[in-house]
């Protein structure tokens, strides 16, 4: 494992990981998201920013989960239709 230094909202963190480039990229994405939330809500409370970010992630996760369930049902229906077509051949 390698140690990687990342900066989020002006604070430096030292993390051990197998893929330092990936962690640096994710930390940069997180930092950008937090800066956007900070601009939108105009707060200096970092904990509040992290809570807002976590809530937005949960919302995205729930939306993706619902979309995945819908696609799964559509896939089942298509497989059922294909099964009927194959049995008629």
Number of domains in the chain: 1
Round to whole Å and give the CA distance between 46 and 9.
8
> Is residue 89 predicted with pLDDT exceeding 80?
no
Sorting pLDDT into bands at 50, 70 and 90, what band is 30?
very high
Nearest-CA neighbor of 40 among 62, 56, 28, 26?
A: 56
Residues 37, 1: Cα–Cα separation, whole Å: 32
Using DSSP, how many helices (H) and how many strands (E) does the chain show? 2, 2
Domain holding 38, by residue range, is 2-88
How confident is the model over 51-75, as pLDDT tens digits? 999 999 999 999 999 999 999 999 9
Claim: this prediction has a pTM higher than 0.75: no
The pLDDT of residue 84: 84
């Amino acid at each position: 494992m390698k140690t990687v230094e990342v900066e989020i909202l002006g604070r430096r963190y030292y993390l051990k990981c197998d893929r330092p480039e990936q962690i640096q990229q994710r930390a940069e994405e997180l930092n950008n998201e937090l800066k956007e939330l900070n601009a939108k809500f105009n707060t200096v409370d970092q904990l509040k920013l992290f809570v807002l970010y976590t809530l937005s992630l949960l919302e995205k996760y729930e939306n993706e989960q619902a979309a995945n369930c819908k696609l799964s049902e559509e896939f089942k229906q298509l497989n059922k239709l294909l099964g009927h077509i194959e049995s008629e051949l």
